[in-house]
Amino acid sequence: MTTVTNNTATNSTSSTSSSSSSSNGLSSAADMSDRFLKLLVTQLQNQDPLNPADNSQITSQMAQINTVTGIDKLNTTMTGMSTNMTQLQMLQGTSLVGHQVLLPGNQLTLNSSGNAIGAYNLSAAAGTVKIDILDAAGNKLDTVTQSGQSAGQQSFQWTPPSGTNTTGLTFKVTATGGGKTITSTPLMVDLVDAVSNTNGTLNLELRNAGTTAYSKVQTIS
């Protein structure tokens, strides 16, 4: 009588799995489980009655294959959840179309009144804030001065003189307080024209800034 040891069963499982994967493309946990059970039955049918297989080893092997099967099912479930989350993100994102958003950037946007609008964030209170308005070439057109600005988010607007080319306007913020320079972060106002999804990341298609990750948006109005 031929004796099939536990090692033989394990090695056969590995060999069969490798062969099947390369020739038939069978690599799922269900296929592995089926092959394992067939080999286990063969082992038990051909074992030496005087030297039977160790039950603890068989139990261990069954536990391992169950773990692999469980992981495979978990991966399938997680993939499904990821797909659902992506669809939910897109659904929520469509509600942003037509809304204004505030995000890091120094581009100026014209509102319905023709005024250039922008914003900035201060790390601390500033006694004086100077905002240089720059044309597309970086030349200074004007300076907006604000006083007594508290820490946090602040906004401003600038009225372009008649005949000013408003294409590509940007701004630069300089803030001071107590004789020291206060750190400032420029923020730009933009309009959401559409939404998209790239590898699970929700992106906004903005009128001026183009494709921007939703995570960069600080305010929606």
Residues 161-190: tens digit of each pLDDT: 999 999 999 999 999 999 999 999 999 999
Give a yes or no: residue 168 inside a domain.
yes
Confidence at 192, pLDDT banded by 50, 70, 90: very high
Q: Is the domain of 107 the same as that of 193?
A: yes
Task: State both tokens at 205.
Answer: 């298609």
Q: Is the domain of 105 the same as that of 189?
A: yes
User: Of residues 192 and 28, which shows the higher confidence score?
Assistant: 192
| Share of the chain residues as helix, strand and coil, in percent rounded to the nearest 5 | 35, 35, 30
Residue 76: per-residue pLDDT = 66
Task: State both tokens at 138.
Answer: 């970086």
Domain of 208, CATH number, reads 2.60.40.4070
Mean pLDDT of 35-41: 72
Task: State both tokens at 34.
Answer: 């089926």
Give a yes or no: residue 1 inside a domain.
no
Instruction: Find tokens 């964030």 and name the residue.
Output: 121
State which of 47, 70, 94 marks the end of a domain: 94
Q: Which domain holds residue 67?
A: 6-94
Confidence at 25, pLDDT banded by 50, 70, 90: very low
Q: Look at the chain and report how many structural domains it folds into.
A: 2
State which of 94, 126, 160 marks the end of a domain: 94
Q: Is the domain of 28 the same as that of 90?
A: yes
